[in-house]
Structure 1
Amino acid sequence: MDGIRTFPFPVERSVWGVGMQVGPMGGETAWPADVPLHRVHRIDFHIVMLFSGGPVRHMVDFAEYEATAGDLLWIRPGQVHRFAPTSGYRGTVLAMQPGFLPRATVEATGLYRYDLPPRLRPSDAQLEGLTASLTQLRREYEDTTTLPLSLHTAVLRHSLTAFLLRLAHLAASSAEAVRQQSDTTFTLFRDAVEKGFATNHSVSAYADALGYSRRTLVRAVRAATGQTPKGFIDKRVILEAKRLLAHTDMPIGRVGAAVGFPDAANFSKFFQQHTELTPAAFRAELR
């Protein structure tokens, strides 16, 4: 059976074949006609959608995000996503091919910060700045008469960088606000789980490594998320298992081993307890 399809950046649809596109949502710019928008798929490029209407519910990495006017969705290469079966997508969409911007700009703008949430909700002032910057980028993108291709591309890179720096600041400040609302104990636990979930599922082991009592860890995680530490760990393990089942053709036993279950039967039992589907059934539903 074929896996979930990954669609490449459609260079042939770009003005002058440059490594980016910007235009209205609903146009045939960022997605070729054969992309099954209402089905789970991946793209190997960046997408930023700035909404002027809504609401719509868009799935990214198996989580549903509701977006409405003034919201942004930032989908990074390789993330599984699916469009809602609605015509409510209104606004501007930006697509960018990896490699279009220099390395220093990629690092400065956090293009591959997969730890940040896809949905962003700017303040009125931030939205005004982002909208003006995106409008200028679109104006430069569509202007093919005043500059030769080499200068046109250089101007696009500068304009795109300006927009992405604003976007990166919004993403970082949004994440910082969340961090400030969370207890430091939870933040350290969350980071430790992100690094170790593939091999360590033990709450006590995390508590010992961080220097907290199990009771302290339980209080901190429950206050920040409403979950127990074990529930938090299991949720992260399930997400990674879903990604591997969806993104790859790895045998189910290897998927289980990759998330800390050397025994395939134990992995299948764990997965079914948390999703009400066997790993095989989950994979089959997506294909």
Structure 2
Amino acid sequence: MADRTIQGVGGDGDVIRTFPFPVDLSVCGVGMQVGPMSPGRTWHADAPLHRVHRIDFHVVMLFDEGPVRHMIDFAEYEAGAGDILWIRPGQVHRFSRPDAYRGTVLAMQPGFLPRATVEATGLYHYDLPPLLHPDEPRLAALRASLGQLQREYEDTQTLPLSLHTSVLRHSLTAFLLRLAHLAASSAEAARQQADTTFTLFRDAVEKGFATNHSVSAYADALGYSRRTLVRAVRAATGETPKGFIDKRVVLEAKRLLAHTDLPIGRVGAAVGFPDAANFSKFFQQHTDVTPAGFRAELR
């Protein structure tokens, strides 16, 4: 099957290859597939599953077992039973152990659905998270919808091909509308959580920056993992928690240097540096000027 090569490294020094939708593996050659994930499944005739590659079609995996690690756009995701991974056209990905994947997989060719449906289902909203964790009611509804789609896909006897394809499009649309709603609501919940996490972190830093410069200490005090804190602060400010703390320390140091006559050592002690030399080194690293030089520039 033909493929395209795209600039980028595929893991062993080769360019990342792009693989098209495998029409030859579809029942009746329609622009979609749906079926079980199992050790004997043929995912793609040519794609090297264990290496980084790009696809130009949608893949949705609903897991019955886990955990399974899967790389999408160079980020690792761990999916468990009941979780969903949604890989969109143009994204690079890599399987961990194909024989460990259990559940149901849907693949869909771009252009199989009409434009209005594509827009309604948000198929190309790349800002939405690829890993989804539906609650029990949503998971049950998604399983039922996907099961109906699979039954229609496999039923090639009761309708002529044109009607069979039309029914598939309708069934696929119903499933994707549910999936898109889950993705959008998951993204909103993540944003709200990130906002809350960052707000709590910001307030804690404001109270404690003069004595506490440790990201891990703030994470522990707030009850978050360091990783969660990093994601929340980066989403809110574009910088790391350590960078946020350091900026607040530098700001306070500048205020004290500019508006008081405290000795440099006392200024350092006031922002958490008992050793004057360490304070001067820290200040110069972040401002390209010594504390004394900064004070002199303002007077």
TM above 0.5, yes or no, is yes
AA aligned to 1:145 is Q
Judge conservation of contact 1:56–1:86 (CA < 8 Å) in 2. Answer: no
Matched, 1:181 2:205: no
Q: CA deviation at 1:225?
A: 2.0
Judge conservation of contact 1:14–1:29 (CA < 8 Å) in 2. Answer: no
* Structure 1 CA distance for aligned equivalents of residues 137 and 88 of structure 2: 25
* Structure 2 CA distance for aligned equivalents of residues 30 and 165 of structure 1: 25
Matched, 1:162 2:162: no
Q: Name 2:165's counterpart in structure 1.
A: 153
Q: CA deviation at 1:85?
A: 2.6
Q: Name 2:82's counterpart in structure 1.
A: 70
Q: Name 1:123's counterpart in structure 2.
A: 135
Q: Name 1:48's counterpart in structure 2.
A: 60
Q: CA deviation at 1:28?
A: 3.6
Q: CA deviation at 1:35?
A: 1.4
Q: CA deviation at 1:178?
A: 1.5
Matched, 1:80 2:92: yes
* Structure 2 CA distance for aligned equivalents of residues 145 and 50 of structure 1: 27
User: Residues 224-246 of structure 1, C-alpha deviation per residue, up to 9 Å, x if partnerless?
Assistant: 624563449x9xxxxxxxxxxxx
Alignment of 1:246-261 (within 5 A): none
1:31 to 44, 69, 74: 44
* Structure 2 CA distance for aligned equivalents of residues 223 and 89 of structure 1: 30
Q: Name 1:225's counterpart in structure 2.
A: 232
User: Residues 51-101 of structure 1, C-alpha deviation per residue, up to 9 Å, x if partnerless?
Assistant: 001111000011110001100000001101000035220000000000000
RMSD: 2.5
Q: How many residues align?
A: 199
For structure 2, the 5+ residue unaligned runs are 1-12, 200-227, 244-299
Matched, 1:111 2:123: yes
* Structure 2 CA distance for aligned equivalents of residues 46 and 10 of structure 1: 12
* Structure 2 CA distance for aligned equivalents of residues 39 and 14 of structure 1: 24
User: Residues 175-195 of structure 1, C-alpha deviation per residue, up to 9 Å, x if partnerless?
Assistant: 1112222339x89xxxxxxxx
* Structure 1 CA distance for aligned equivalents of residues 149 and 109 of structure 2: 15
Judge conservation of contact 1:56–1:89 (CA < 8 Å) in 2. Answer: yes
* Structure 1 CA distance for aligned equivalents of residues 112 and 34 of structure 2: 14
AA aligned to 1:135 is G
* Structure 2 CA distance for aligned equivalents of residues 133 and 102 of structure 1: 20
TM-score relative to the length of structure 2: 0.62
* Structure 2 CA distance for aligned equivalents of residues 144 and 119 of structure 1: 32
Judge conservation of contact 1:222–1:229 (CA < 8 Å) in 2. Answer: no
Cα distance change on mapping 1:153 and 1:30 into 2, 3 Å = farther
* Structure 1 CA distance for aligned equivalents of residues 231 and 193 of structure 2: 8
Percent identity, aligned pairs only? 75
* Structure 2 CA distance for aligned equivalents of residues 182 and 106 of structure 1: 29
Judge conservation of contact 1:45–1:77 (CA < 8 Å) in 2. Answer: yes
Structure exhibiting the larger radius of gyration computed from Cα positions: 2
Q: CA deviation at 1:2?
A: 4.9
* Structure 2 CA distance for aligned equivalents of residues 29 and 166 of structure 1: 27
1:92 to 100, 104, 126: 104
User: Residues 185-229 of structure 1, C-alpha deviation per residue, up to 9 Å, x if partnerless?
Assistant: x89xxxxxxxxxxxxxxxxxxxxxxxxxxxxxxxxx978624563
Judge conservation of contact 2:194–2:233 (CA < 8 Å) in 1. Answer: no
SS for the counterpart of 2:99 is: coil
